[in-house]
Structure 1
Amino acid sequence: MVQTARVLTIGEFSRLTHLSVRTLRRYHEADLLEPAVVDQATGYRYYGVDQIPVAQVIHRLRELDVPLSDVQRILRTPDPGIRAALVAEHLQRLEGVLDRTRAAVVSLRRLLEPDPAPIHVELRSEPARTVAAVEAVVGSGDVEAWFAGAMAELEAAVGDAVTGPPGGTYDNALFEQERGHALVYLPATAPPRVGRVHPVTLPAAELAVTTHVGEHDGVEITYGALGTWVVQNAMSVAGPVREVYLVGPRDAREPAAWRTEIGWPVFRLT
């Protein structure tokens, strides 16, 4: 018969760790938290008091939605620095999810407002100009990561020769088909040709322009308001959408200060 003086039954261990008996059995089957002793005759599981901190770590990691495979890596890594890096990597992903959730809540509240504030729209004639650009065909889900890499490459290539705020153009297919041509640029005195960076001439265009205030995650609401204005004023979109990042994360820490100018190429129907 197994000696249980220094061990806890699975029920006792469950009460001490706030992990259900069913969860403890699942963790055992997954080789995540093995009992100190398993009675071969009865199959009963017994745990040591020194396993309580381990169980508590697992509990907290699972509360943060860390996958079981990653929990195993964290627990089995002897190097504290590597363990900390693994946890930090997941927390960073979790913070990104929280940021997106918060932005979605803000956008939803704006959409549910009974009387949304009217937007200011300006009709503007933009002349053709040559800029330093990076362009590619990308999927809508990859735009954020692609944009960050392209902008970093542009800033390194252009350096102090920048003559205005960064911008981008986005083909209609990117919105309609979830994949399309995207281009980001920096105005420069002499656009270089380095790596993916190369000179591009933006064609002259007639634009209906408004400014989106705040984080870019809620920009679709401003797009909708601008599109409504275009339709109501008997105009039609005639080309890729243009964005100019007047104030962004590199310019101001507070998202409330960020400003994105949205320009839709248009022509009058009447």
Structure 2
Amino acid sequence: MRQGLTIGEFATLTHLSVRTLRRYHEAGLLEPATVDPFTGYRYYSPEQIPSAQVIHRLRELDVPLADVKSILASGDPQRRADLIAEHLRRLEAELDRTRAAVVSLRRLLRPDPEDLQVELRSVPARTVAAIRGHVTLEDSTSWYDATMAELDAAFGPSERTGPPGGRYANELFTAGAGTMTVYRPVREPRVSGPIEIVELPPVDVAVAVHSGRHDDIDVTYGRLGSWVVEHALAVDGPVDETYVVGPRDTPTPADWRTEIGWPVFRLTPGDCALVQRPAT
């Protein structure tokens, strides 16, 4: 009497190789319905096909074997869905990192000679509402989001007089941790909780605009830094970012505009001229 589907037949039906099915058996992930005690031949039942197909799909998504086993072992549909959703979030995060790296490499390999414009600008002293903190570079994005939300809650649109900004100590980049100051120009700055009134001193800066997502903003930083080395005298001061158009203004990343202000010492007086430099 036939005991079920042979391992070869089951492999054909499920698109899982014989070698893979043997490995899954050894791992306790997908055990045959029966194993002939004399020949050691593995036999599978038709009812095991759906489980095998689920395993096949999960492995195509690079779900680790241990997680696949947990998903199959769980009798709670919501628990299974949560496990799969958690892995999908990890995949999406990895895909975002890969996409960002590809964009950066393309900009480095095929720079547009017309896309870097630098403006020497004298920024007057300003009084702003701000929140400061010692932050690691890894946590800087999430810290900024939370801090900016707090400033937005404290100062409504009618109170704001300009786009928000961030001032970043050099140590944030050189040592991986440093002081971050996130601020908003407002009509009447006031103290509230972590919000303080901060006096930003006047400064001369070389300004370049970064367009789009911040995934490759380091490329713009690098090119602006190169421009400063060649055309101005850099000073040891914090870098400013001004979020002229950002996620709070539009959900379309292509429309985002971030001004990067690199502190410099103006060697010659005169108007703030717009200087264009071919990309390197």
TM range (shorter): 0.7 to 0.9
Partner in structure 2 of residue 162 of structure 1: 160
Contact 2:170/2:238 (<8 A) preserved: yes
Task: Please state if 1:246 is matched with 2:231.
Answer: no
Partner in structure 2 of residue 227 of structure 1: 225
Taking the aligned partners of 2:79 and 2:156, their CA distance within structure 1 comes to 36
Taking the aligned partners of 1:135 and 1:21, their CA distance within structure 2 comes to 60
Partner in structure 2 of residue 199 of structure 1: 197
Which ranges of structure 2 fall in alignment gaps of 5 or more residues? Answer: 269-280
Instruction: Give the alignment of 1:51-62 within 5 angstroms.
Output: 51-62=48-59
Contact 1:110/1:116 (<8 A) preserved: no
Instruction: Give the alignment of 1:70-219 within 5 angstroms.
Output: 70-113=67-110, 116-160=113-157, 161-188=159-186, 189-194=188-193, 196-219=194-217
Task: Please state if 1:33 is matched with 2:21.
Answer: no
Shift of 1:226: 1.0
Partner in structure 2 of residue 48 of structure 1: 45
Taking the aligned partners of 1:258 and 1:75, their CA distance within structure 2 comes to 44
Q: Give the paired residue count.
A: 266
Identity over aligned residues, as a percent? Answer: 62
Contact 1:174/1:180 (<8 A) preserved: yes
Tell me the alpha carbon deviations over residues 104-155 of structure 1, each in whole angstroms, 9 at most, x when there is no partner.
Answer: 2222122112653252211222233333333333332332333333333333
Matching residue's letter, 1:103:
A
RMSD: 2.5
Contact 1:241/1:263 (<8 A) preserved: yes
Matching residue's letter, 1:193:
S
Taking the aligned partners of 2:230 and 2:131, their CA distance within structure 1 comes to 34
Residues 114 and 47 of structure 1, relative CA distance in 2, 3 Å threshold: same
Taking the aligned partners of 1:57 and 1:169, their CA distance within structure 2 comes to 50
Going by fraction, where is helix more abundant, 1 or 2? 1
SS in 2 for 1:144: helix
TM-score computed with the length of structure 2 as normaliser: 0.83
After TM superposition, the structure 1 stretch with the greater mean CA deviation from structure 2, 250-259 or 210-219, is: 250-259
Matching residue's letter, 1:184:
V
Shift of 1:59: 1.7
Q: After TM superposition, where is structure 1 displaced by more than 6 Å over at least 4 residues in a row?
A: none
Shift of 1:217: 0.7
Taking the aligned partners of 2:27 and 2:228, their CA distance within structure 1 comes to 58
Which ranges of structure 1 fall in alignment gaps of 5 or more residues? Answer: none
Contact 1:236/1:268 (<8 A) preserved: no
Shift of 1:167: 1.6
Matching residue's letter, 1:39:
D
SS in 2 for 1:121: strand
